[in-house]
Amino acid sequence: MKLEPYWLASAPRFSSGSSAPVAGKVDVAIVGGGFTGLSAALALAKAGASVAVLEAGRVVGEASGRNGGHCNNGLAHDLGGLAASIGIERAGALYRAFDAGVDTVEALVASEGIDCDFTRTGKIKLAAKPGHFAKLEKSAELLQATVEPDLVVVRPGDTRSEIGSDGFHGGLVFPRSAHMHMGRFGVGLADAAARAGAAIHEDAAVTGLARLNGQAHRVVTARGTLEAKQVLLATGASRQGPFAWLRRRIVPVGSFIIATEPLSVERAASIMPTRRTATTTMNIGNYFRLTPDNRLIFGGRARFALSSPTSDARSGAILLARMLELFPQLAGVGIDYCWGGLVDMTSDRLPRAGERDGVFYALGYSGHGTQMSVHMGQIMARVMGGDVGANPLAGLDWPVVPGHFGPPWFLPLVGLYYRYQDWRH
């Protein structure tokens, strides 16, 4: 078993990065070489801006290349619950922004010729307990009447038409969702940005950021210093660098994933005949999908810990046990890959994007980042070009997370709370 992301291990390494020192002046410096930063770099460079992408490690080496491979539409929230707090009009607009995110990914795959197996499979949200189906059915009524008219309700007696497991009790199918190979998409997006003229600097961690006379910014990196008219922070849950204001508002939460060896066609069909992406209704639930070569990619919180080789292996064992509980027909199947990553979680699980003290930002995707990170990269390029009304996240309040000043010491307590909620409900 390899303790590395399947998506990165099975994708070509990005080879169009800049070997020159980080120096000189640019129109835009982008901090972070994940989907947000690369998408923004592509759009800005195509608009004629000079762009430098500053990545602390390797392109798509963090959250963008360490997720479950889903490109799902829909919010992390129950639409009715969100509407009760911010109004149905705003909640619906946010829901449609996530839909637009999937469309943006699909459009970039087509326009840039990115070979990443993008497929509109649909997503199924599975009731993990018998009592959960009634809540899903009630949610479906509002979704179908407002933002998701093609939603399909799968009744408990029909669950096996979707999932070869007795562990679920009906669900909802969201037809607009998709999946793809995250590593190949990320490298393809980086190649497209480089072709458009963006300079992409790997191993260029940002260590200093200062405003110069209210007109520009000095950006200090491990590979040199440059001056930028504008700066976009696309750092996700980065725990390093001069970003304390953002760090107090984002909690880095570990998420862990295993990938099986390729399954036979028959065995793959026995567990996921429709080959959708799948999520469950538990707070500490699971998400899974099949790859084109029939590996099962199976993930979840597993443990409320940050990712490390030791932590990843322990979490992988928990995930394997859960996978076999749901799919006993996979007994004896080998696990080829096990990895973890950080989810940039906000307190209300809504992403944030905007501008503060002359620095733009887009992050906090809270486990739904594939589509929204790509979409918000394109959106922030428009905002930075003067189209301030383009930002669907504008105006959302963003208070600090109480008691959060650095390492998330409270994660084990959060885990206990959610386990209690899952047991109780």
CA–CA distance, 59 with 53 (Å, rounded to integer): 10
pLDDT-derived band at 397, boundaries 50, 70, 90: very high
Judge contact between 38 and 377, C-beta under 8 A. yes
Coil vs helix vs strand at 319: helix
Given this model, what pLDDT does residue 154 score? 98
| pLDDT exceeds 80 at position 12 | yes
Q: Which residue has the tokens 């007696």?
A: 157
Report the largest interatomic distance among the alpha carbons of the chain, rounded to a whole angstrom. Answer: 66
Given this model, what pLDDT does residue 326 score? 97
- CB atoms inside a 10 Å sphere around CB 267: 17
Judge contact between 326 and 159, C-beta under 8 A. no
Sheet of 171-174: strand order equals 152-154, 171-174, 123-126, 277-280, 286-290, 296-300, 251-260, 335-345
CA–CA distance, 123 with 139 (Å, rounded to integer): 16
Exposed, middle or buried, 13 (CB in 10 Å: 0-12/13-18/19+)? Answer: exposed
Buried b (16+ CB within 10 A) or exposed e, 226-259: bebbbbbbbbbbbeebebeebbbbbbbbbbbbbb
| DSSP tag of 347 | T
- CB atoms inside a 10 Å sphere around CB 133: 23
* Sign of the torsion formed by the C-alpha atoms of 369, 374, 377 and 378: negative
Q: Do the strands 25-31 and 51-54 form a parallel or antiparallel pair, or are they unpaired?
A: parallel
Number of helical H runs and strand E runs in the chain: 11, 18
Give the dihedral of Cα atoms 16, 19, 24, 26; nearest 10 deg: 10
Judge contact between 351 and 63, C-beta under 8 A. no
CA–CA distance, 378 with 351 (Å, rounded to integer): 15
Digit-coded pLDDT (tens) for 21-51: 999 999 999 999 999 999 999 999 999 999 9
pLDDT-derived band at 425, boundaries 50, 70, 90: low
Digit-coded pLDDT (tens) for 266-312: 999 999 999 999 999 986 789 999 999 999 999 987 666 677 777 78
Digit-coded pLDDT (tens) for 179-202: 999 999 999 999 999 999 999 999
CA–CA distance, 141 with 135 (Å, rounded to integer): 10
Q: Do the strands 206-212 and 216-221 form a parallel or antiparallel pair, or are they unpaired?
A: antiparallel
Structural domains of the chain sorted by starting position, each given as residue range(s) with its CATH number in brackets: 6-415 (3.50.50.60)
| pLDDT exceeds 80 at position 239 | no
What would you report as the CA-atom Rg of the chain, rounded to the nearest whole angstrom? 21
Looking at every residue in the chain, the average pLDDT score rounds to 93
